[in-house]
Chains A and B, each alone.
Chain A
Amino acid sequence: MNAFVALYLAKDGIANGLVYALLAMSIVLLFSVNRIIFIPQGEFVSFAALTFTLLQDGRTPGTIAFLLALLALHVVVDVISQCRTRLLVPLLMESARKVMIPLGIVVFAYAGSKFDLPLWCKALISIAIVGAMGPLLYRLVYQPIAGASVLVLMIVSMALHFVMVGFGLYMFGPSGQRSAPLVDGSTALMGVPVAGQTFLILAVTLLTIAALYYASRRTLYGKAMLAVAINRSGARLMGISAALAGRLSFMLAASIGAACGVLLAPTTTILYDTGFLLGLKGFVAAILGGLVSFPLSALGAILIGLFESYSAFFASTYKEVIVFSLVIPILLIRSMRMTRREKEEAAEESHAVAFDDVDPKDLQRRRRFRTVIEAGFVMAVLAAPVVLSDYDIALLDYVGLAAIVVLGLVLLTGVAGLTSFSQAAYVGIGAYVTGYLTSAHGLSPWLTLFVVLAVVFVLALLNSLLTVRLSGHYLPLATLAIAIIAYYLFGSLPWTGGQAGMTDIPAISIAGYQLRDPKSFYIGIWVALLLLMLGLRNLLDSRPGRAIRSLRHGTIMAESVGVDTQAFKIASFVLACLTAALAGWLYAHFQRFLNPSPFSFGQGIEYLFMAVIGGAASIGGAVAGAGIVVLGNQWLQAHLPSLIGIEGDFETVVFGVAAVAMLQFLPEGVWPMVLRLLRLDAASPRDVKPARLPMREMPPRGGSILSVSSVHKEFGAVRANRDISLELSAGEILALIGPNGAGKSTLFDVISGVQPPTSGSVTFLGQPSDYSTRALSLRGMGRTFQHVRLIPDMSVLENVALGAHARGRTGLLAAGLRLDRAEEQKLMGEALTQLSRVGLASLADRSAGSLSLGQQRVLEIARALSTAPCLLLLDEPAAGLRHLEKKALAELLLQLRAEGIAIIIVEHDMDFVMNLADRVVVMQFGEKLAEGCPREIQCNPKVIEAYLGGVE
């Protein structure tokens, strides 16, 4: 490579990078204003570019009709959503007024397409058409679910991407177009020819950056968007509508994307699906900029352009692999810089439907009904090959294969709350490993099954060590990158057969009988599926299962009862990958042919759709979702062309629209809805007898439990704790009081290991604290939370049993195989004992989410007691309790004290505190104001002034 080539590549890389930069900035804008990870940004590019070229050919582009359709839909949605509360005519008028401008664009563009206008006019018309789509898409797709989690918004974006590409194919056809140049000629820069068009792109990029910067600082609308980006609820209080900011940001993003399209069209061939990869690269750049910084994203985009350009030169086969690999290290660095508190906030909020109280007889009846349904399902599965045709069975084979993959996702995404787009990639790894070993080396498929599982185990473990520590939306992004990388590797590695595929894979044979036809394979697939479903159900109802179910609700609570959240996250990830690999192994020997497309990232998204549609957190949902999607897709493919009479990728469109509608109207999924309608969603009651697990050795009465010495804690310039020292001995109750903002909660966090102090030290049971909640919990520190942290969709008893997690030993495999019943009885017995102590035993089978707030606080105490603590930290336990309940609580605490447990209690109810505590510490402005027995504190003038301060 000589200097000329190097320069030429650099020029090309920068020219491409500029386009990525524009896209990246739109993506950053949309994310910061709306929290939407907007995958279809690239579609705006192809829409505008192809509209532009069609206008040049003197044809009327389909995008005009598309825009008109969006307008009509907008009015319809407006009317439907408000017709109950308002009169029709004014409603229609208002809605029509809202769509005036885009309607004007439609009319203008349609008229414009009939005349031979100058090129730049056509460019502007194209940008206007596509730009007008932005706000409409926001109104129709995102506004109804503006409050949903980042993840749901991201899945909706994926669906929208499919819809737009499907319409793109219909509107523009499969062939590509190229526009006449907007700027002619080229100049030589250091010997490298640079087209005038490149300068135009550079100018537009710089102008856009400047305009965005100016707008966000100086204009009213820009400031409004910025305000929403910084603080949504704050902006709402200021009277700034998030919907307005959303529409504005979408208009900007769509226009910028459209401008890219118009600028690109003269330089290259644009196809209906060109936008996707462009958008993804813009997206990678946005990630490099942390999804927040415009200048960093722009720089990242240039970097990607350069990277791409040089890797195209050196290794064009692996170009995409190299570019998308950039994401992983960046995400890792990003995630390491996140503090723990941020992580906790990023944890998904749960919207579990709490089930109501039902009388035991009814429960019994429901349980019987449920058993009947399950038995019926198994019977139906077994009877299917006898009743159904070969073709139906073949379809059910695909359903079963998909359901196995989705089952892994149910565990990983639905239950553990970790989203992965890479399931399809692991199916592919499983399929390719067995395909290669059996076809090229003649190994038996039964042997390769173990090889497949071993290989995937190692890969998934490595992968999860890298990615599981990523939290929030970073994990899905990393898995998306991995899915893309894997797909390109399947198509380019020398031993996979590349894009042409791998043939001659043998069928599986059992005792000489070959499983070739759909029916014999059906048995293999569905038996495997049923066993996995059973295993997963067993697992979820066990000690490790409860730990996995707790992961979705933030890590601090789980760690506070001794759950190794990191290990369980990794375990869920690896398990999900292993089920995917098993499906891949089955797939390879069923299909007897492999090529990369069934393992593409699109397929990975489809698996997620299946999980979401079926009901992400339910085992039955895996089968329901796989069935609906696979059979629905096949049906649409067979019947849609004749139904609507035109050709196109319409099943993807229908599919995407269905997914969006689903997430808007039925976020819980189909299967949970069915269970709810049949009133089968209640937890089944358990037969539990109270029991006790072996206790830990308690420290001697009066011996030192906790020693806090000169703790300082600072958050930036804010000093939350200053020079705090405390001593606590076994069998003592210490109350921590003080006005709001006095630093009590911070001190609680420092003591319980949620965060280390800036200086000073904490000693627990004679050993220095290592500021790990989990380690402290294992050593005997139990706690409750000011804002209750329970698992609302688990029963009260199970929530308490989670507390005893560290006192059991059952592993994942034993739990799946139901070898844990003896220990499970003991854990449940212990939980029931603690529940009786706090007086909630009668509610054991209710869902935790259905309890009153006061009961939930007491439940947290029972959970903390299940860890067999010698120190109990209680954060406002009496808040929300009625008088008698408070009395019972006080009695319980006194009894615990008698058992030798030390207690620190933060509480605002002075009567409660003063009658209970042995000693009281008063805090104010982060400092210790006073310490003494209740009587002393009540007479302390400093305390009186702090509480009643400024009276005189």
Chain B
Amino acid sequence: MLRLLATVALLAASALPAVAQVKIGVIASSTGPVSVVGVQQKNTAALLPKQIGALSVEYIYMDDSSDPTQSTKNVQKMLIEDKVDAIIGPSGSPNAVAVLPFIADAKTPMLAPVGSTAVILPMDDKKRWVFKTTQNDNLVMEAIVAHMKKNGVRTVAYIGTNDPLGESFGKAFKAALAPAGIKLVEDERFARTDTSVTGQTLKIGAASPDAVLIGTAGAATVLPESALVDQGYPGKIYQTHGAATPEFLKIGGKKVEGTFLAASPMLVMSEIGDDVPSQKIARAYIEAYRKLYNIEPGTFGANIYDAGLLLERAIPLAGRQAKPGTPEFRAALRDAIEGTKDLVGAQGVYNMTAQDHSGFDQRSIVMIVVKNGNWSLVK
């Protein structure tokens, strides 16, 4: 009997994970309005490296329900209780903005997979702890606006969701429009769960802009587009990378044929030549994700994957200078991430500087068109 107990105890003990040396907090919005983005990111967290160099890594995951206040609570818990060495997340731009003061006070690096540049620009004492692993919203918008301009678009309308996502897309879009000399003639809002957007799309139709940009993510991207198509809107329809999900094609069907969107080259892997450096990593990521979940990831999860790559390069460097779990390690980690040069990720190439904590350039964005129910590269 005693031996049995001892065996059980031994088994139980061996089943417990060994105490990890590096602790990373992961915050994603796997529920709530941003969950289209967050679920992929949360799923990707399982693909992050458990061992970096000689150091084992533990990931502590929390959902913030898309609520910035919950993000700040999560961040506080991770910083104070778990004493994490770095944080990956949160999914939403406002969420990342909300946690800034806490990150800065705790002097802990954060890798934010968010679009808004507001988390890293203008660079200051608070933001020096934040790195961004997603194409800047303005990069996406610049690519879209450039494509519009090239195709003779003079007037546009914007329709976005009345949530943080739609709002930050709208902001970035308007900022990109001014220098290009394109005029915004309508600016409409709808709710993610609306069952009809006819009022908004009729108004857009009445203003007859040359193009319309739809600013939201996931399934909600389809409704305004199909309403516009049903009303016989003749102009071009653009989407952001928020539409770069399989369900956009599935739900949209024939109605989204011909849609333009700016997104990561990951979406059109087969058409990209070897000249795009990120291709190999993207393939590896997609493969790993599919193996685990049986579906293909959108581009949002890749932001987390890239955050993992950045850490994979920076942690060994920081590990040489200090022990994980100390303020010195966190400072060294920050410095190491800031020093990242020519790191190829799934979405593009990272070159960080003290001023640019995003490190992406235009290579990370391509224009894509929906052709025959599939993504196709605009050449």
Contacts and interface: CB of A to CB of B under 8 A. Distances in A.
Q: Are these two chains actual partners, yes or no?
A: yes
Interface of A: 1-2, 5, 8-9, 12, 15-16, 19, 169, 173-178, 193, 264, 267-271, 273-274, 276-278, 308-314, 316-317, 319-320, 389-391, 394-395, 398, 488, 491-492, 498-501, 503, 516-518, 591-593, 595, 597-598, 634, 637-638, 641, 647-649
A499 B94 contact: yes
A637 B29 CA distance: 12
A641 B63 contact: yes
Interface in B166-217: 166-168, 171, 188-200, 202-203, 206
A647 B67 contact: no
A346 to B, nearest CB: 34
A80 to B, nearest CB: 32
B164 A499 contact: yes
Interface in B114-170: 116, 162-164, 166-168
Contacts of A313: 199-200, 202-203
Contact of B63 (A15, A264, A503, A647): A647
Given A8-B202, A641-B61, A647-B30, A274 B193 contact: yes
Contact of A649 (B61, B65, B77): B65
Contacts of A9: 198-199, 202
A174 B231 CA distance: 28
Contacts of B72: 591, 593
Contacts of B194: 268, 277
B192 A5 contact: no
Contacts of B76: 391, 394, 518
B166 to A, nearest CB: 7
20 contacts: A9-B198, A175-B218, A176-B219, A268-B196, A270-B195, A271-B220, A276-B193, A309-B196, A316-B189, A391-B76, A391-B80, A394-B76, A491-B163, A492-B162, A498-B167, A500-B167, A500-B171, A593-B100, A597-B68, A638-B77
B81 interface: yes
Contacts of B193: 271, 273-274, 276-278
A276 B193 CA distance: 9
A394 B73 CA distance: 8
B198 A8 contact: yes
B199 A647 contact: no
A492 B105 contact: no
Interface of B: 30-32, 35-36, 38-39, 42, 61-63, 65-70, 72-74, 76-77, 79-81, 93-94, 97-98, 100-101, 105, 116, 162-164, 166-168, 171, 188-200, 202-203, 206, 218-220, 222-223, 230-231, 245, 247, 251
Nearest to A393: B80
Contacts of A391: 76-77, 79-81
A390 B199 contact: no
A394 B70 CA distance: 13
Contacts of B66: 597
B191 A647 contact: no
A518 B73 CA distance: 11
A66 B162 CA distance: 32
A43 to B, nearest CB: 12
Contacts of A517: 105
A75 to B, nearest CB: 31
Contacts of A595: 68-69, 94, 98, 164
Given A174-B36, A391-B76, A638 B68 contact: no
Contact of A175 (B30, B36, B195, B199): B36
B97 A501 contact: yes
Nearest to B72: A591
B105 A516 contact: yes
B199 A312 contact: yes
A19 B194 CA distance: 13
Contacts of B81: 389, 391
A649 B206 contact: no
Contacts of A638: 62, 77
Contact of A269 (B62, B93, B223): B223
Chain B binding surface, main DSSP class:
helix
B174 to A, nearest CB: 13
Contact of A316 (B38, B73, B100, B188): B188
Given A313-B200, A317-B189, A501 B223 contact: no
B167 A593 contact: no
A592 B218 contact: no
Contacts of A593: 68, 72, 97-98, 100-101
Contacts of B97: 500-501, 503, 593
A394 B77 CA distance: 9
A390 B80 contact: yes
Nearest to B31: A649
Most chain B CB atoms below 10 A, which of A271, A276, A492? A271
A273 B247 CA distance: 17
A331 B189 CA distance: 29
A491 B192 CA distance: 14
B163 A499 contact: yes
Contact of A637 (B36, B62, B80): B62
Nearest to A12: B198
Contact of B94 (A389, A395, A501): A501
A173 B98 contact: no
Contacts of B65: 649
Contact of A173 (B39, B62, B94): B39
A522 to B, nearest CB: 13
Contacts of A498: 167
Contact of A500 (B73, B93, B100): B93
A206 to B, nearest CB: 20
A178 B248 CA distance: 11
Most chain B CB atoms below 10 A, which of A278, A389, A498, A518? A498
Contacts of A2: 206
Q: Which 4 A-B pairs have the closest CB atoms?
A: A176-B219, A312-B199, A391-B80, A174-B35
Contact of A592 (B74, B101, B190): B101
B63 A271 contact: no
Contacts of A308: 199
A591 B36 contact: no
A276 to B, nearest CB: 7
A50 to B, nearest CB: 11
Contacts of A175: 36, 218-219, 245, 247
B73 A634 contact: yes
B68 A264 contact: no
Contacts of B222: 176, 178, 269
Most chain B CB atoms below 10 A, which of A174, A312, A517? A174
Contacts of B251: 176-178, 269
Contacts of B162: 317, 488, 491-492, 499
A175 B220 CA distance: 9
A601 to B, nearest CB: 14
B164 A501 contact: yes
Contacts of A271: 192-193, 219-220
A499 B167 contact: yes
A174 B31 contact: yes
A487 to B, nearest CB: 11
Contacts of A270: 195
A883 to B, nearest CB: 67
B196 A12 contact: yes
B39 A647 contact: yes
Given A593-B72, A593-B100, 6 more contacts: A12-B198, A169-B35, A308-B199, A320-B191, A595-B69, A649-B32
